[in-house]
Structure 1
Amino acid sequence: MATSVLDNMLYKKGFTSETMGNIFSEKNSIQKLLDVEAVLARAQAKIGMIPVEAAEIITEKAKYEIIDLAELERQYAVTSHPFIPLLKAFTKNCGNAGQYVHWGATTQDIMDTAMILQVKEAYNEIFEKLLELNRSLVKMSKQHRDLIMMGRTNGQHALPITLGFKFAVWTAETQRHILRITECKDRLFVGQFSGAVGTLASIGKQGINVRQLMFQELGLQEPVITWNTSRDNLVEFASVVGIMASTMGKIGNEVYTLQKQEFSELEDHIAAGSVGSSTMPHKRNPFEALQIVSLSRLLRTVVFEAYETLENEHERDPRSLSLEYDYIGRMCCMAAAALDKTIRLVDNLVVNEKSFERNMSLLQGLVYSEAVMMKLGEEIGRENAHELVHKLAMQATEKSVPFKDVLLSSEVISGRFTEDEIDELLKPENYLGLAQQFVDNVLSKNHDLLQDTQ
């Protein structure tokens, strides 16, 4: 039975990557739990807490392939516990050495540490894809640095910008995502080994040595104190992923909008053999873009779920842990899918330069009203200039005539500026502000950022 898009053959390829699917597979989840038990045994053997021979057997038997999965299901029906069935099966497989399995540990020690190992693998996948998306956006920022298009505010034509400027804004967002996800790494990759209530009472002072050896081998940080009921490390990661998803959603939504025939400025690449509609043969639907938007919305809902794990009772509260079993894998899978799709969208984006030119002239020069107002303001003051230019702009709109004609008919304007000077004010390349300089600033910062992350 498939109750999630991640389980459904028809949908799952659109909601995860193959690598991320493997990271959060049943096999890898169980293997990580066994790995932690084996590392615990080896650490305890090194300090003489358990026999070396027992640790060797525990390590040898810590393999997913020899676990009786059918027995796990039967035991779960009896215990209703997510880990005890596996622990029983593993202990049984170890024979006499099984008495040393899980020595001094509690379920959450093993499950939290195993989960962090999975998150670490997922983090590396997400981080590499984020860097790739950043590189794709940088390429587009450079390539279209000087390609003039209409900038829009409140859904309306505003002032000219360049397409490179639009991409540079998104590039700058990915720069901040790279910083955020890098900064949370040390707080995130922290193991858990603290016993029943977090005090390591079961093995006392030796527990510090065991913990050091465990996490050194696993490549994790040691906690200063237990984080049984402190899930902020994971929630921070979820928050970063949620913010990152919003950038991808913004890119997808912009392409989705600008592909409408009324704009026709950007277009999701349509692969050979792709079909837009089962009934309308002419359709060229922006499937990649719309799927990115959908994934972005789903990922933001995960952030709310993550925040529900922050308030816990006493020294342990499994009610929060149950939420993590659901949201962490789902979040990472969807984040990987969103990144893959956004990279493909950007890399294969169709740019329709003729549409940019056409749309720039739709309002017959009205988008340069600010340029005229600022120039006129030098003569008669900004407020007076704004009032007059607004009046002239409304006349041009109502009569559907070129803005230039209305400007020339005004004695105030024509008495101060020649027709050639007005023409210069109505050229988009003369009112780009510092758009290209800002693109260059972003590209320069990107070079420095990537140098620091290597």
Structure 2
Amino acid sequence: MSLSPLTAVSPIDGRYHSATKDLAAFFSEAALIKYRVFVEIEYFIALTDTGISQLSRLSDKVALRSIYENFSESDAQRVKDLEKTTNHDVKAVEYFIKEKFDTLGLGDSKEFIHFGLTSQDINNTAIPYSWKEAFNSIYYPSINELIKELEGMAEEWKAIPMLAKTHGQPASPTRLGKEVAVFVERLGVQLNQLKAVPFSAKFGGATGNFNAHHIAYPANDWVAFGNHFVNDVLGLHRSQKTTQIEHYDNFAAHCDALKRINSILIDLCRDIWTYISMDYFKQQIIAGQIGSSAMPHKVNPIDFENAEGNLGLANALFEHLAAKLPISRLQRDLTDSTVLRNIGVPFSHTLIAFKSIIRGLKKLILNEDVIQADLEKNWAVVAEAIQTILRREGYPKPYEALKDLTRTNNAINQESIAAFIDTLDVTDSLKEELKAITPWNYTGV
């Protein structure tokens, strides 16, 4: 059975293939190979800039860069074929590039490919580079699109008064737009924290000390070279003291930050789901679509449910990545290798969720009549306002007076509130001030 969206084991490459296919450019096996080739080529060119290895013409650099710029699926397959012999994925990349050097007439220089390096110098630069590229190309545009959608809703509904619910009970009124703006602010704060975390990389030889480089060329400042190559050429952040592998502390921080953003979005999904169940929102009906196989009247909030499920999956994996990757026995064990191959999985579930939330938000239709009716049924919420003003005026035991009124079994409405105010021993002007308070205007600043 050939691999296709119908035969894929993972729904990422199956049911949700259309939502995640762009991530193949960053997290697929072919992408990992391409990024490894990219690092090896740029490292070789960086060596030539120090005078260690020579390229006879500037055009040679252009030709070398074309190896990764024009990297094809057949090139990736060639590397996989070489790996069948080497049983080592990075060594297969080295042999592939040596073949390309022979084709370009650069065979005399090919022993400087992967010079002095261990495989983790390539993996721990290629993977954070691809991670960074995925953030810039996919994650940030997607989360910004979602936030922009929420910002539009917050602005559109900023004047809509709404009954708040604390502990599931009626509480002081708020405004619908402000409640959406809460999520805009939370996401913005966490997004800034995410962006502050460097994309760290390891580059320093077999155990992080440039042993091979130093023994071959002891006069060279290899730490300065490594810093320039990683920080300036690759645009990453070189960790200065490492074992054979990157310590992944900053990668774990990325995962933790992503998890917090996802948790905020789970909170959003549950709130919107609840507002839909309260009939505060209707959902646009798409022609031909079915909400329930048995109940024709239903239009289920499936986009928010789908998003919540995918965000939960993503967070479980981000949690494991953050907990596992910073731990490695002594100078290195291999457990990080297989785990790192899965970094695209939580990223994919996150992207699926983003698209589901955006789709769901675009379907929402404000049902203002129900929101207004809910306020009308809950005049008791103005009691806080009345007793606060009475406190201001020095009225004796205002809280207790309002508590007795609002906890009776009699209906609390505009008339009963007005009747209560008339019993107060206060000035007529103060009574008018109190009677002017309604569930629609008691919404704060």
TM-score (norm 2): 0.83
User: Do the aligned partners of 2:201 and 2:246 also contact (CA within 8 Å) in 1?
Assistant: no
Written as runs of structure 1 = structure 2, the 5 A alignment for 1:345-356 is 345-356=360-371
1:390 aligned counterpart, secondary structure? helix
Please say if 1:279 is aligned against 2:294: yes
Partner Cα separation in structure 2 for residue 417 and residue 347 of structure 1: 51
Find the counterpart in structure 1 of residue 16 from structure 2: 11
1:337 offset after TM fit, Å? 2.7
Name the % identity: 21
Question: Aligned partner of 2:265: which letter?
Answer: M
Partner Cα separation in structure 2 for residue 353 and residue 146 of structure 1: 12
1:200 offset after TM fit, Å? 0.7
User: Which string of whole-angstrom CA distances, capped at 9 and with x for unpartnered residues, describes residues 277-309 of structure 1?
Assistant: 223222101122112212221222123112222
**Which is further off, 340-349 or 405-414?**
405-414
User: Do the aligned partners of 1:72 and 1:89 also contact (CA within 8 Å) in 2?
Assistant: no
Q: Aligned in 2, Cα 1:257/1:429: closer, same or farther, shift over 3 Å?
A: closer
Q: Aligned in 2, Cα 1:226/1:268: closer, same or farther, shift over 3 Å?
A: farther
User: Do the aligned partners of 1:143 and 1:164 also contact (CA within 8 Å) in 2?
Assistant: yes
1:412 offset after TM fit, Å? 8.6
Partner Cα separation in structure 1 for residue 442 and residue 67 of structure 2: 71
1:251 offset after TM fit, Å? 1.8
1:34 offset after TM fit, Å? 0.8
1:29 offset after TM fit, Å? 1.7
Written as runs of structure 1 = structure 2, the 5 A alignment for 1:30-429 is 30-52=33-55, 63-67=71-75, 69=77, 72=80, 75=83, 79=87, 81-92=88-99, 94-95=101-102, 96=107, 98-124=110-136, 125-184=138-197, 187-188=198-199, 190-204=200-214, 205-208=220-223, 210-212=225-227, 214-215=229-230, 216-226=232-242, 228-260=245-277, 263-305=278-320, 306-326=322-342, 328-363=343-378, 365-378=379-392, 384-395=397-408, 398-399=409-410, 401-404=411-414, 406-407=416-417, 413-416=423-426, 422-425=434-437, 427-429=438-440
Q: Aligned in 2, Cα 1:379/1:200: closer, same or farther, shift over 3 Å?
A: same
1:238 offset after TM fit, Å? 1.1
User: Which string of whole-angstrom CA distances, capped at 9 and with x for unpartnered residues, describes residues 48-88 of structure 1?
Assistant: 32342698686565534453637726845983x44344444
Partner Cα separation in structure 2 for residue 25 and residue 349 of structure 1: 35
User: Do the aligned partners of 2:280 and 2:370 also contact (CA within 8 Å) in 1?
Assistant: yes
Partner Cα separation in structure 2 for residue 132 and residue 66 of structure 1: 35
Find the counterpart in structure 1 of residue 3 from structure 2: none
User: Which string of whole-angstrom CA distances, capped at 9 and with x for unpartnered residues, describes residues 413-449 of structure 1?
Assistant: 4444767555323x12431111xxxxxxxxxxxxxxx
1:149 offset after TM fit, Å? 0.9
Partner Cα separation in structure 1 for residue 330 and residue 78 of structure 2: 35
**Which is further off, 91-100 or 145-154?**
91-100
1:343 offset after TM fit, Å? 3.2
Selected match of 1:432 from 433, 436, 443: 443
Can you give the 5+ residue segments of structure 2 that lack an aligned partner in the other structure? 1-6, 215-219
Partner Cα separation in structure 2 for residue 414 and residue 331 of structure 1: 61
Q: Aligned in 2, Cα 1:21/1:266: closer, same or farther, shift over 3 Å?
A: farther
Question: Aligned partner of 2:264: which letter?
Answer: T
Q: Aligned in 2, Cα 1:104/1:65: closer, same or farther, shift over 3 Å?
A: same
2:267 aligned counterpart, secondary structure? helix
**Which is further off, 312-321 or 61-70?**
61-70
User: Do the aligned partners of 1:38 and 1:59 also contact (CA within 8 Å) in 2?
Assistant: yes
Partner Cα separation in structure 1 for residue 285 and residue 84 of structure 2: 48
2:171 aligned counterpart, secondary structure? strand
Partner Cα separation in structure 2 for residue 221 and residue 131 of structure 1: 25
Question: Aligned partner of 1:351: which letter?
Answer: L
Partner Cα separation in structure 2 for residue 127 and residue 411 of structure 1: 54
Please say if 1:27 is aligned against 2:27: no
The count of corresponding residues between Structure 1 and Structure 2 is 418
1:253 offset after TM fit, Å? 1.5
Partner Cα separation in structure 2 for residue 170 and residue 180 of structure 1: 15
